[in-house]
Structure 1
Amino acid sequence: MKITKSMRRMLGGGIATLLAVALAGCAPGASTGGGGQGGGSKTGTLTFWLGGDPVGKEGSILSAYVASFESGHPGVKVSVVWTGAQHKQKVQAALVSGDLPDVVQWWGGSFMEPLITANALRPLDSYIGGSGDWQSGLIDNWSKNYTFSGKIYAAPTDASTVQLYYNRDLLSQTGISQPPGTFEDLLAAVKALRAKGVTPISINGKDGWPLQEVYTYLAMRNGGAGLIFDALSGKRPWTDPAFVLAGTQLRQLIDAGAFADGWLADDTAAADARFMTGKAAMYIFGSWTLNSVVSADDKTLIDKVDYVPFPLTAGGKGTLTELQGGPNGALGISTKSKMADIAWEFIKGYTSVEHASQVATGTLVLVPNKIRYDRSTVPAIYNDHVDQLAKATGFNLFWNELLKPEDNTKFTDLNNSLAEGKITPQQMMDQFAAYMKK
């Protein structure tokens, strides 16, 4: 078993070495998974690991689903393990020991690739091929983040998108009648808000990745959703004008005072609090922000907050229906599972329109399904998110999942240096291009 560069990047050198020892002799041809149906026993204990917290709506919804699944599958017991904040570490350790559960929650893109390379997950294509009704209940373009060498290795459980949230009252008080639709509108709004003493945009500047989301959205609006994939495949250089221009635009926002004073020290809690308490007019963040808005101490906030897609850029190739994010969390089946067929039945039900609709309305989490629900039972802004996701024509997975971990760290460091004024946009992409050639 060869430990690849991508595996070392995710797992680290020490764990990667242990993985080589643990999986020696587990060549793809020797796998018990094979990627087809006919996967073992129909009775026994099915193990399922997922992150998160069992306390709350997510836990109660899952408990009800497990009870229903067991009732419909006599002789099957589902053992659910909530791994919490240590989920990544526990899955990585299980990968080393060769002791993954039957069903495991994970993420797409570069996070999933090492599990595929290690032959730890079973391809699901033949299962999916026999589940037409299930697949028709998913949004378009759902499988890209879980497809490797033409095979699909996971079924999606959730989705998220990055938006420009805004406080209607604060914009109106500053004389801004419409939320920004273009980058020029956004820059003008920033200057107008600053002139009135209002913080234009709240952002977590401490952790790097939220600022990266601003840069990557600008790049996508400049070059289209295919830009990053062309760069990764070598069809376009990392020094492409669309990338360099995104850095210039980010600097324009910073120089205009887009973010709060001292923003580089703000974490998510601070950024959240600033927007939720009406101290910032806008917030560029993920769709999980909805839960913060709904649960805010100010119960009138939900009536003040709305969102628009990230603005378009002049002359850009991007469209408003191309979103940063998309299907992300997913469930896969271990190649060592002795209950693969049952595992697929569990996953198929868990990711069905029926179950996803319960998760969506119960937690206000976006799901990559064509859900059916009573729209009057949830905030209107959530319905708008659902509609936007269903109409999306393209997705860019978050770069911290699209890029290999070490590559993402390098890019984030360069983006931070740009934000701090230490390098120019051209220098940033020149340095990243040189790094990616190594």
Structure 2
Amino acid sequence: MKLAKIALALGIASVFSVNAAPTEVTVLHTSNESVVNATWDDQVERFNAQNPDIQVNFEYIGGEAFKTKLQTLLMSDSKPDIIGTWGGADYSDRARSGLLADMTDYLPTLQKELPKGAVDAYRVDGRLYGLPSVSKPTMLYYNTGLLNKAGVKTSELETWEGFIGAVEKLKAAGITPLAIGASEGWPAHFYYSYLAMRIGGPDIFKDAIENGFGDPAFLEAAVQLRRLSDMKPFQKGYMAQDTANAFAQFGNGEAAMQLQGEWGYKIQQDNSHSKKGVAADSLGLGRFPTVAGGEGQLNDIISGIDGWAFTNSASPAAAKFMEFWLNEQNLGQLASEAMMLPINGNSAKEVKEPLMLRMAALVPESTYVHGFVDQILGAHLGGAVNDVSTELVGGTISPEDAIAMLQEAYDFQ
């Protein structure tokens, strides 16, 4: 009788072990690039097939909604296990406040495969709460066909005065010079960030973290951005439009230039009427222009290192997926199929598309690489930079009031 009970118990245990539900891993991302999402779908399908005890699911949320809802989401019981991150102060603050999970001991392979400098940028007090994956350089996209119609030479775009002159020529030719989705805040901050760096040097925002916004270069950058906005260089209705509208404007050949990140190449294709965007032989890439007398150089670049962070609900299963997802083979697939720029040098060799190859060369050829300013400064100061930049682009604030707002944000952080 006793043996029968033991056998029955073992049988029940066996049934439960066979039917045990797989561990779920939820990844929250902000990508709306079709080729990227198709590649991720393939990778997730392969991982789930190889690991029946783990079920990985991807969920999408728009970039601005992600920023506004993330803090509340991280405090809820339904938080995802892995979230997209731009690194910077927000990432570090969340790690130190206990909202992220330390997964250092579960990521042995990737700590060896990925570049040490990039991995170290994701360490907080020596521990890993996430990992970097791809480089996101920010550059000036331009339509050479439209520039030619207006008599603009691409060499003119290398200096600020030449750039201003190009805007004048394009407007005179009846061509919208620039497309921007100003309703989202962060697109405008690329203009202000670059101008401040070109005028005050690449370390100017590092100094602002310590000393505030008293450097005259911050005011001059605001003066120059307001000078640009007063020329009315952007598409009609730009202050109410988001980045999707701006990418469509550029992709449809309705605007000559756009200051955007690496992702812009693919999204301007997806959002265009033809789904092909600006023809490859008409699409040019340039660096943000230098400012006469400034301390910054043409080859100083703003480039984020996007990655992934583990929330405090993540289990070792999430780290196991990360070890697979960001391995050399899968990052290589992102390079070859999704036209992304992996930080792993061996993976980056898989980039095939000619324009992406040119883009990939921008970072290693740069004299200085600066992260996205709004992310480096954190939610409070970075948000103030975004707000001020947007008001300058909209022509609704004076340069002096813009700096006063930034200094006030610094004083009361």
TM-score interval, smaller chain = 0.7 to 0.9
The within-5 A match list for 1:360-379 is: 360-370=335-345, 371-376=347-352, 378=353
Distance 1:233 1:246 in 2: 19
Aligned: 1:256 with 2:231: yes
Residue matched to 1:4: none
Residue matched to 1:425: 399
Measured at CA, do residues 382 and 338 of structure 1 come closer, stay the same or move farther in structure 2, by a change above 3 Å? closer
Aligned: 1:242 with 2:220: no
> Per-residue deviation at 1:143?
4.3
Q: Counterpart of 1:260 in structure 2: which amino acid?
A: Q
TM superposition score normalised by structure 1: 0.75
Equivalent position to 1:49, from 27, 41, 64:
27
Aligned: 1:211 with 2:185: no
> Per-residue deviation at 1:213?
1.5
Residue matched to 1:165: 141
Distance 1:225 1:406 in 2: 21
Seq. identity, %: 26
Residue matched to 1:19: none
SS in 2 for 1:251: helix
Q: Structure 2 unaligned runs (5+)? A: 1-20
Q: Counterpart of 1:326 in structure 2: which amino acid?
A: G
Residue matched to 1:319: 297
Distance 1:64 1:391 in 2: 33
Measured at CA, do residues 427 and 93 of structure 1 come closer, stay the same or move farther in structure 2, by a change above 3 Å? closer
> Per-residue deviation at 1:354?
1.7
> Per-residue deviation at 1:323?
2.2
Aligned: 1:80 with 2:54: no
Q: Counterpart of 2:362 in structure 1: which amino acid?
A: Q
> Per-residue deviation at 1:372?
4.4
What are the Cα deviations for residues 398-419 of structure 1, in whole angstroms up to 9, with x where unaligned?
3443334344444444334434
The within-5 A match list for 1:298-309 is: 298=274, 299=276, 301-309=279-287
> Per-residue deviation at 1:164?
0.8
Distance 2:333 2:300 in 1: 26
Aligned: 1:198 with 2:175: yes
> Per-residue deviation at 1:204?
2.0
Residue matched to 1:357: 332
Residue matched to 1:268: 243
Measured at CA, do residues 292 and 45 of structure 1 come closer, stay the same or move farther in structure 2, by a change above 3 Å? closer
Measured at CA, do residues 83 and 278 of structure 1 come closer, stay the same or move farther in structure 2, by a change above 3 Å? closer
> Per-residue deviation at 1:309?
1.3
What are the Cα deviations for residues 353-395 of structure 1, in whole angstroms up to 9, with x where unaligned?
321121232222333332245554x2x1111112223444544
Q: Report the RMSD for the aligned CA atoms in angstroms.
A: 3.3
The within-5 A match list for 1:385-400 is: 385-400=359-374
The within-5 A match list for 1:10-409 is: 45=23, 47-52=25-30, 57-66=35-44, 68-69=46-47, 76-85=53-62, 92-93=71-72, 95-97=74-76, 100=79, 102-125=81-104, 133-136=112-115, 140-141=117-118, 143-144=120-121, 146-179=122-155, 180-234=157-211, 237-295=212-270, 296-298=272-274, 299=276, 301-328=279-306, 330-335=307-312, 337-339=314-316, 342-370=317-345, 371-376=347-352, 378=353, 380-409=354-383
SS in 1 for 2:407: helix
> Per-residue deviation at 1:100?
4.8
> Per-residue deviation at 1:220?
1.7
Distance 1:381 1:201 in 2: 20
Distance 2:34 2:185 in 1: 30
Q: Counterpart of 1:398 in structure 2: which amino acid?
A: F
Distance 2:35 2:394 in 1: 41
Measured at CA, do residues 58 and 198 of structure 1 come closer, stay the same or move farther in structure 2, by a change above 3 Å? closer
Aligned residue pairs, count: 385
What are the Cα deviations for residues 99-121 of structure 1, in whole angstroms up to 9, with x where unaligned?
65554444422432442133232
Distance 2:284 2:22 in 1: 48
Measured at CA, do residues 123 and 171 of structure 1 come closer, stay the same or move farther in structure 2, by a change above 3 Å? same
Q: Counterpart of 2:169 in structure 1: which amino acid?
A: A
Contact 1:225 1:394 in 2 (8 A): yes
Q: Counterpart of 1:157 in structure 2: which amino acid?
A: S
> Per-residue deviation at 1:302?
2.4
Q: Counterpart of 2:173 in structure 1: which amino acid?
A: K
Give the structure with the higher percent helix. 2
Bigger Cα Rg: 2
Q: Counterpart of 1:211 in structure 2: which amino acid?
A: A
Contact 1:142 1:327 in 2 (8 A): no
Contact 1:91 1:100 in 2 (8 A): no
What are the Cα deviations for residues 14-48 of structure 1, in whole angstroms up to 9, with x where unaligned?
xxxxxxxxxxxxxxxxxxxxxxxxxxxxx962523
SS in 2 for 1:332: strand
Contact 1:54 1:82 in 2 (8 A): no
What are the Cα deviations for residues 282-313 of structure 1, in whole angstroms up to 9, with x where unaligned?
11122221113444445562221111011122
Measured at CA, do residues 92 and 247 of structure 1 come closer, stay the same or move farther in structure 2, by a change above 3 Å? closer
Measured at CA, do residues 93 and 194 of structure 1 come closer, stay the same or move farther in structure 2, by a change above 3 Å? closer
Q: Counterpart of 1:239 in structure 2: which amino acid?
A: G
SS in 1 for 2:57: strand
SS in 1 for 2:292: coil
Measured at CA, do residues 385 and 408 of structure 1 come closer, stay the same or move farther in structure 2, by a change above 3 Å? same
Distance 1:112 1:123 in 2: 12
> Per-residue deviation at 1:437?
0.9
SS in 2 for 1:359: helix
Q: Counterpart of 2:376 in structure 1: which amino acid?
A: L
> Per-residue deviation at 1:433?
1.0
